[in-house]
Amino acid sequence: MLIIPVKEGENIDRALKRYKRKFDRTKTMKNLRARKNFTKPSVANRAQRIKASYVQRLRTQEEVG
C-alpha cells in the first residue's frame, strides 16, 4: 500500500503527481499484470534470453558503427 503524506497547504495536484511517480517506481502495475496469468518458468527464461541477446546485439552494433 502506497502512502503519500500531504503537507499542510500543499496543492492536491502536486501530491497526486508524487503518488503517480511513486506508483510507477514501485512497478505495481507490472507485478499485477504478471500475477494475472501464470507463465511457465521455461517460457520466462526463454523470453529473458531473447531479450538479453537483443540488447547485446544493439550494444555491439553501437560499438561497431
**pLDDT tens digits for range 4-46:** 899 899 999 999 999 999 999 998 888 999 899 999 999 999 9
Grid coordinates 503519500 are at which residue?
A: 4
Averaged pLDDT, 42-63: 96
d(CA 33, CA 61) in angstroms, rounded, equals 33
pLDDT of residue 53: 97
Q: Is the pLDDT of residue 65 over 90?
A: no
Cα distances (Å, whole numbers) of residue 46 to 5, 53, 60? 42, 11, 21
